[in-house]
Structure formats: C-alpha cells, structure tokens
Chain A
Amino acid sequence: MALRELKVCLLGDTGVGKSSIVWRFVEDSFDPNINPTIGASFMTKTVQYQNELHKFLIWDTAGQERFRALAPMYYRGSAAAIIVYDITKEETFSTLKNWVKELRQHGPPNIVVAIAGNKCDLNDAREVMEKDAKDYADSIHAIFVETSAKNAININELFIEISRRIPSTDTNPPASGKGFKLRRQPSATKRSCC
C-alpha cells in the first residue's frame, strides 16, 4: 500500500482550540488547560484512505499575533489547511477570513481548505450561526464542519473529508470541482456572515 506524506497546517485565532483538535485526532484525549503553542507544534498520524496510507504531518501553528509572520513556513507545501474559529467568538470568524485571504495570495495553489467551527458543545454561548459559516465555506469551496474537540465531535470526520478531497496520486486526476480553487473564485469574499 502506498504511503503518502501529507503536510497539514492548522491556522486560526489564539484560543480557538487548534491544539485541542489535533490532540483529539492524534491522541483521542482532551486537556482543558493546555498552554498556548510556541511557534507551532508538530504531530503525525497515519490513516488509511481507500488503497493509500495517508500520513498526516500536522503543523499546529500558534495563534498568538507575535507568531503571525511565521505562518508561511507552515502552509508552504501543505496539502491542506484547517482554519479554526470558535463558534462562541464572532471575532475569531473574522480572523478566519483573513487567513483565507492570505492563503489565496501566498498559499500553495491546490491547497485543500477546511473550516472548523470549534467548541460546538457550547451552543448556549454561540455567536456565529452555523448557516452563515456554511454559506461562506461553500462560497470558497471549502470543507465545513462544526467540531468539538472536548466531546470528540466531527474530528475524525474532518480529516476523513480532507483525505477524500486531496487529489489522488493516480495518473487520472479526480474530477475537478472538489479541490479548492481560490484563485479562480475572485467573488468568493463578497458574502459576509455578519
């Protein structure tokens, strides 16, 4: 079975739960008191997808502003980017849109983008409507899920969907339209969620 190394980066505002998502996916555990990441932390997990093994090389970047300038090192060469926001904090969703813009300008051309609205267990404190986020994700052809790293909701599904969207190495590339084609969607940001 072929093993493919797939670089994946997580982007998003500080405190939205990027590390917790990775932690849940890799270790299937949750720690409510983890420290902010320095630069980025790195973990790997190998999953089977059809007749391939996908080894995810996951770069979980720091959300803090002072590390902002380092992001290109992590999304450079990435097959997928997971942009995370916190459904209970409106401003984290605006940050997400800036990340989409940055990826469009400087990211790899065929990067698969996934949007994760984390902390969906805190529905009472919700500030971002699921429909708004979903519409936005659709407009940029991104994967969209609401997740809870705490309650293990949609975490594996998120990565399975990434595996599905990543072009296979077969000589015949899959039908277009599944990939994320930021550059051909100049009108994508017209829609606003607020």
Chain B
Amino acid sequence: MSLRKRDEGDGVGGNVRLAGSPEAAEERAPGRCLPLLPWDRFSAWLHCVCVVGFDLELGQAVEVLYPQHAKLTDKEKTNICYLSFPDSNSGCLGDTQFCFRFRQSSSRKLSWHCLLDQFDRDLPIYLKKDPAYYYGYVYFRQVQDKTLKRGYFQKSLVLVSKLPYIHFFHIVLGHIAPEYFEKNEPFLEAACSDIDRWPSPVPGKTLHLPIMGIVIKVRIPTCHDKPGTTEVLQTAHQPATQISITLPTVHEVDLFRCFSPVFFHIQMLWELVLLGEPLVVMAPSPSESSETVLALVSCISPLKYYSDFRPYFTIHDSEFKEYTTRTQAPPSVILGVTNPFFAKTLQHWPHIIRIGDIKLSGEVPKQVKVKKLKNLKTLDSKPGVYTSYKPYLNRDEEIIKQLQKGIQQKRPAEAQSIILRRSFLELTQSFIIPLERYVASLMPLQKSISPWKSPPQLKPFNQEEFMKTLEKAGPQLTSRLKGDWIGLYRHFLKSPNFDGWFRTRRKEMTQKLEALHLEALCNEDLLFWSQKHTEVETVDLVLKLKDKLADGENLPVKPGTMEKLQLHIDSIILALPEDLQGILIKTGKM
C-alpha cells in the first residue's frame, strides 16, 4: 500500500479520498452533469464551513474556511462575522445555537447547480432554495478562559448553506461543534470529508448520512407529500444515539415552544405573516430570535413566505440602513434582533413582538392583552405583542383551550407542536382553497388548445370576480372561524405573499398549457401536414419543433411525448431533399 505524505499546509483542501468509493459508484450525476469532483458532494449540502473567532485587534474574524477555495465576498465575510456572534451583551455564556440568513452579494455560478435545481423541482415550495440568500447555522461557545488575554474563549462554528433544513443542521452542529472546539483542525477536516461522501439531498428518499462516528437518517420532503403529514422514518428499535439518529423532520421548528411566550396572539401573528406585514422580534438572545422568526415564517405553511426574513439581524448587517430607514414605510420583512439599540431604531415599526426567556416547559401562559405601541420605549418593556393591528378573524378559542389543557395534562411538547401545526395548516388551507379554485378557473378550456395556433392565454385575475366566488365557495365551507374574511382577502391580494403565490401558480399553469399544446401537436400527423405545405413552411416547422424539444425538458408533459416529438422531427427531415436534411440535422445541435 502506498502512502503519500501530505504537506502540512494542505489542510482539508487536499481532499484525499478512496478512489471510486462505493457511494461514488452507486450514484452518478445525471447525464448532462459533469462527473463528480472532490467537494461536489459537499457543495450539494453546504457552501462552506467557517470558524469565526475574536481577534483583540480586528474583532470578529473568519479564522478557518473550508473548503479553502470556497468563494465569499468581503461583504459576505463581514456579514458572517457579525451574524455569528451575539450582538449585544446578552451573555450567552456556555454554548448557544442559532441560525441567520444573509443576502448573497453577487450572482455567482453554482458549480453544482444543474443537479441541485433538479432536486429543487421536487421540493415543497417552502423548502426550495432561494438563489439570493444563504443560511448560516451557528454553534457559538463562550467560556471563561484565564489563559486568554480577553479572559474568554469565544468562537463560532458556522455552516453556510442554501438549504433551509434548520432542524437537520441544528442536529449536525450539535454533534460536531463541541468536539471541534476540543480537537480543532483535523476534526473539521474529517467532518468535511464525511460530508463530501454524503449522498445528494434527494427529496423523498431516506438518506443515511454518516458524520463523525454516527449515522443521521433523514427524509427530505417532496412536493408530492400530503401537506401536514410528516413521513416519519420508522425504525424497529431506536439504537443508541452513539450509533445512529433518526430525525423526524429536516426543517420543522418546535412551534409550540417558540410561540409559548406569545401564546394568545398566535392567530393574529398568523394574519400578520400571511399579509407580509413588517414584523420585528426582539429577543434576549440570537437563539430565541431566530427560533421565533423561523416559527413565524413556517406558520403559514404550505404557503411560502415570499418576503425577506432574518432570523437574526444585527446593526452591522449590510441591509441595516435599507431596512431601518425612516424615510419610507417599514419594508415587508420579519427581523429577529437582540440589540437594545433596535428598540429605538425600529420604534416606528407597526408590529413588534417582544420575547422574554422562552420557558422550557410547563407553565401556563397568562391571558395577556395586545399592547399599545406607545408603551414600547426601551428594552426593559414587558414581553408581548405591541401593535395597533385589529385581526380580521375572530380568535379560535378552541385551539387555545386544547393547548392549555395539554399544558395542564403535561402533554409532550412535540404533541402540542403537532396540534398547533395542524391548526395553522387547516387555517391556511381554508384560506387558500377558494383562491386555488378561482385561479384554476382561469385556465382556458382544453378544446381551445389547437396544435396549429399558439397556446391560449390564461384569463387575468379579476379581484371582484374572485370576491363573488367567496359567497358560495368561501372559507366558511372548511373553517368554523367567523370574522371579516373578505377584508382579509382584500388585504392579502395586495401583499407580497399573494404576488409570489400567484406568480408561481401562473408559471405552473402556463407550463401546463404549453405541455398540453405540445401533446396536441405530437398527436397530429405532422409529416402529412408538411407534404401539403411548401418547403419553407416545413423548414420553419422543423425549427420550431426543435425549439420545443429543447425547452420541453421542464414541461410537465405525459411520458413519451418528447420521444414522439423527436420521431416527428426525424421523419419530416427524412422526407426533405438531401441538402436540406444535412443542414436541418445539424441545426439546434451542440
């Protein structure tokens, strides 16, 4: 066996790996992608891993970056540095885990994008990657250390990823970070090497992900899963956590625990999130701010929250000015902050959630009134929701009672979260079903699709027409909640969430129309048609069909359609004079 000595400076960048390891062999990249290179598998999961430390002269600085060739602009690095440390003197002694989100500062090519996009297609909309943002998952340790000049050891291990798999990365960090702080360099090299052997994050497949002595088993949801059902992985018996861990979810937060400080306002918060209202969460620590923001964003699932949200936002953030300016109305974003400075900076914001320490369990929250905004002056203000917003819908007393009963009966937090999640889901679905139904009616009739004309257009969205449908087929069919549903819809139709939702639907339906049109075209006798038309028209048809063949990959056509199309093209070309054949076969090919 030959052993190559690796030079010291090489670090993990060298990435030595068993040639042709079994995982590499079992799963090849799809045809149009390049073969797997070192770090390709890693970058399907993570953009990079950073270690952020505190330098007495520089302040926070990126001490280590894996892989060494990972690209981060200076702006991104600065953001990561500030966002990886607690912002204020919030203490955070010991270990703290939280998550942040930051804007990608330039449009850079993802080396692995072709494969990732393919996975993206099968993901539920709220788990799709946002090309403009990264997530940072942080494990921060702060302990007294008299040997250090500063008197404290302060360091963060940060995973930077496009994937919003909050729970999964929380578990991964919880496993690797404490060991990393003890063992340093070779540990991170080994952990990154493990990740670089992981199978790709394919939705719907049970993945076994070995990392530092344990195997994490997860299933990434797909858009075909029934909303509200979590396909929990089943194991005959749960072996010790030193061997393997089975995660029931990759992305879900502990809704009940996160919302417990604002328990009585959950339904109002659902409305505020649905409407994309500017919302700020002021919390004592980054872990509480990030958990609460993520819980807010997820409470309208399966709807996607389309505006920006920052689980943890600091005064150093590059978007600080943009988001806090008083010269224009507060933007449609949800910010999580800890710095007392924000109490003043964001005083003009319409809705402020102030969180005390999140209680771990037990205590029944007391009935609290919504607080008036003018009472919010300083960080010492009491926990609660500060807003002058009047909810459109009446409060669902039943769910409150059910959860309160659960607290009294010491129902496990997971069960409480499931109840809460289901109630949010029912509410969101009751709200969205009439819109889905109306939008489906904008689709032209099947008989209006003619293979010899362009695909018909979708009918435009008409607000009043939609409102009329509510009389007979409104949310009253599925929800027992009373209130001003009409007012809620009118407000929603003006919100970024409606805009994003409708754009997505319109795109899907347009693609469906194109697919139906293509199928209709393929069912015609195109060769017969071409024989009755001039050569120029036939050539034009071939070129158009070739375009469709190239675009068709992303269309939801019936299986076999593209093959049919190819056969049509081939037979038409064959019937043409030879000189033309040669030209047409070449055109459109790479």
Determine if B242 and A38 form an interchain contact, defined as CB atoms under 8 angstroms apart: no
Determine if B15 and A5 form an interchain contact, defined as CB atoms under 8 angstroms apart: no
Given contacts A7-B242, A20-B1, contact A41 B197 (CB under 8 A): yes
- Judged by a CB distance under 8 angstroms, whether A17 is at the interface is yes
Name the B residues within 8 Å of A76 (CB-CB): 213, 242
Residue of chain B at shortest CB distance from A29: B20
Residue of chain B at shortest CB distance from A118: B1
User: Mask for B352-379, Cβ within 8 A of A = 1, else 0?
Assistant: 0000000000000000000000000000
- A44–B208 alpha-carbon span in the complex (Å): 10
- A6–B26 alpha-carbon span in the complex (Å): 23
Task: Tell which of B20, B186, B208 has the most Cβ of chain A within 10 Å.
Answer: B186
Name the A residues within 8 Å of B21 (CB-CB): 41
Determine if A38 and B190 form an interchain contact, defined as CB atoms under 8 angstroms apart: yes
Determine if B22 and A43 form an interchain contact, defined as CB atoms under 8 angstroms apart: yes
Residue of chain B at shortest CB distance from A59: B213
Determine if A67 and B243 form an interchain contact, defined as CB atoms under 8 angstroms apart: no
Determine if A39 and B189 form an interchain contact, defined as CB atoms under 8 angstroms apart: yes
Given contacts A38-B15, A77-B213, contact A33 B242 (CB under 8 A): no
Name the B residues within 8 Å of A66 (CB-CB): 186
- A23–B18 alpha-carbon span in the complex (Å): 10
- Judged by a CB distance under 8 angstroms, whether B239 is at the interface is yes
Interface size in chain B (residues, C-beta < 8 A): 37
- Judged by a CB distance under 8 angstroms, whether B4 is at the interface is yes
Determine if B186 and A19 form an interchain contact, defined as CB atoms under 8 angstroms apart: no
Interface size in chain A (residues, C-beta < 8 A): 38
Name the B residues within 8 Å of A23 (CB-CB): 18
Name the B residues within 8 Å of A33 (CB-CB): 1-2, 19
Determine if B1 and A77 form an interchain contact, defined as CB atoms under 8 angstroms apart: no
User: Mask for B1-24, Cβ within 8 A of A = 1, else 0?
Assistant: 111101000001001111111100
Name the B residues within 8 Å of A70 (CB-CB): 179, 183, 186-187, 190, 212
Name the B residues within 8 Å of A74 (CB-CB): 213
Determine if A57 and B186 form an interchain contact, defined as CB atoms under 8 angstroms apart: no
- Judged by a CB distance under 8 angstroms, whether A142 is at the interface is no
Cβ contact of B22, chosen from A3, A26, A73, A77, cutoff 8 A: A26
Determine if A34 and B1 form an interchain contact, defined as CB atoms under 8 angstroms apart: yes
Given contacts A31-B19, A41-B18, 20 further A-B contacts (CB under 8 A): A3-B236, A7-B213, A7-B243, A14-B3, A20-B1, A26-B22, A33-B2, A34-B18, A35-B4, A36-B3, A36-B16, A38-B12, A38-B15, A38-B190, A42-B210, A62-B190, A67-B186, A73-B212, A74-B213, A76-B242
Binding site for B on A (CB under 8 A): 2-3, 5, 7, 9, 14-15, 17, 19-20, 23, 26-27, 31-44, 57, 59, 62, 66-67, 69-70, 73-74, 76-77
CB pairs A–B below 8 angstroms (25 shown): A2-B236, A7-B213, A15-B3, A20-B1, A23-B18, A31-B19, A32-B1, A32-B2, A38-B189, A38-B193, A39-B186, A39-B190, A41-B21, A42-B194, A42-B210, A57-B244, A59-B210, A67-B186, A69-B183, A69-B187, A70-B212, A73-B213, A77-B214, A77-B240, A77-B242
